[in-house]
Amino acid sequence: MTLTILLAMLGLVMLYYGGVFLVRGSSGLALRFGLSPLAVGLTVVAFGTSVPELLVSLDAAISGADGISVGNVIGSNIANIALILGVAALISPMVVQSKVIAVDVPIMIFASVLLIVVLMGGYVSRAEGAILALALVVYVWMTLRMAKASEGEAMMQNNKNSELPGARKMAVRIIIGLAVLFVGAHVLVISAVKLATMLHVSQAAIGLTVVAVGTSLPELATTIVASLKRHGDLALGNVLGSNCFNIFGVLGLTATIHPLQSGAISWVDLGLMAGLAVFLGAILFRRRLLNRAQGVFLVSVFVAYTIWTLAA
């Protein structure tokens, strides 16, 4: 078991550093094209930090570990709100723009409800996966259309471009990040399946907790940095975009390639995922602020859920 745990830790470390390289390279290139920080957070950074979820879910599905594949998506969405936003709010209360609240929060809630509907039959077919993937295309188009930089923002970004690393250097970061992520995802999936067998828990439970937290490490790092710098929009945009990408992109693309069984995923898991999305939306629509008290509540919910899932 010791070797399996060490391999799992190695996979998590590789996912983290691979995600960091990928996000730095892709966000740098996006800023060079004149996208605003909010647009970068909602699209490039959010999708870049979700690549670990995509690779792990694909690898798990191809390996026949559907429970890890589906559990990874649901668990990551739970971790993104309860753990990551909770920790970020503890560091610094987040004030967000009405644009984010009015558009991206409802889309995240819609995506969560849509996932519940899809999984009601216990199966995600290729057709359903294709519909989810198409929804991702629409979401990206809408986000870029509404959050793209104004002329003033674009000019400001262009003035800062000279301070950014060269495009070639950022491209190298992207390539290195993807390579490390591919290997790390495979190592993590293999060790996660072995851990589930050794601990006599379902693959879904491991996917909902250990794997989900591991693949969410890039989001955690990005959001904490944004929170420390008082960039509440970037922090929230990263989480909202990641949650939408996890459902539309990760689950959609994975199911399109390999239809998925929901396995041991329960209504508690699905209900908590959707409930957290609605809870976050209610708070932001009411006050446009996520404070430390709410951060404590979110982190407490995540800890309780993790203990319950592994003990069940």
Chain segment 242-251, per-residue pLDDT in tens: 899 999 999 9
Q: Is the pLDDT of residue 79 over 50?
A: yes
> What's the one-letter identity of residue 312?
A
Nearest to 254 by CA among 140, 109, 108, 118: 118
Q: Is the pLDDT of residue 155 over 60?
A: no
Segment among 135-149, 155-169, 245-259 with least mean pLDDT: 155-169
Chain segment 291-304, per-residue pLDDT in tens: 899 999 999 999 99
The span from the CA of 199 to the CA of 78, in Å, is 23
pLDDT for res 34:
65
Residue 33: phi and psi, rounded to 5, are: -85, 5
164: confidence class by pLDDT, cuts 50, 70, 90: low
SS3 content of the chain, % helix, strand, coil (to 5): 85, 5, 10
310: confidence class by pLDDT, cuts 50, 70, 90: confident
| 215, two tokens | 């693949």
The span from the CA of 189 to the CA of 14, in Å, is 13
Mean pLDDT, rounded, of the chain: 81
Q: Is the pLDDT of residue 193 over 60?
A: yes
> What's the one-letter identity of residue 75?
G
- What pTM does this model have? 0.82
Domains present along the chain, CATH in parentheses:
2-311 (1.20.1420.30)
As a whole-number percent, the residues of the chain with pLDDT over 90 amount to 29
Compute, in degrees rounded to 10, the torsion defined by CA atoms 84, 90, 91, 94. 80
Give the length of the chain.
312
Backbone torsion region of residue 251, taken as left when φ is above 0, otherwise alpha when ψ lies between -120 and 50, otherwise beta: alpha
pLDDT for res 152:
46
The DSSP code sequence of 175-229 is HHHHHHHHHHHHHHHHHHHHHHHHHT--HHHHIIIIIHHHHTHHHHHHHHHHHHT
Q: Pick the residue with more confidence: 213 or 87?
A: 87
Burial tier of 96 (Cβ tally within 10 Å: 0-12, 13-18, 19+): buried
Q: Pick the residue with more confidence: 154 or 121?
A: 121
Nearest to 26 by CA among 221, 246, 152, 176: 176
Contacts of 192 (CB under 8 A, 6+ apart): 8, 60, 65, 68, 203, 206, 207, 210, 211
Chain segment 2-33, per-residue pLDDT in tens: 788 888 788 778 877 876 777 677 667 666 66
Q: Is the pLDDT of residue 204 over 50?
A: yes
**CB neighbours of residue 223 within 10 Å:** 30
pLDDT for res 302:
95
Chain segment 66-78, per-residue pLDDT in tens: 888 999 999 999 9
| 73, two tokens | 């998506």
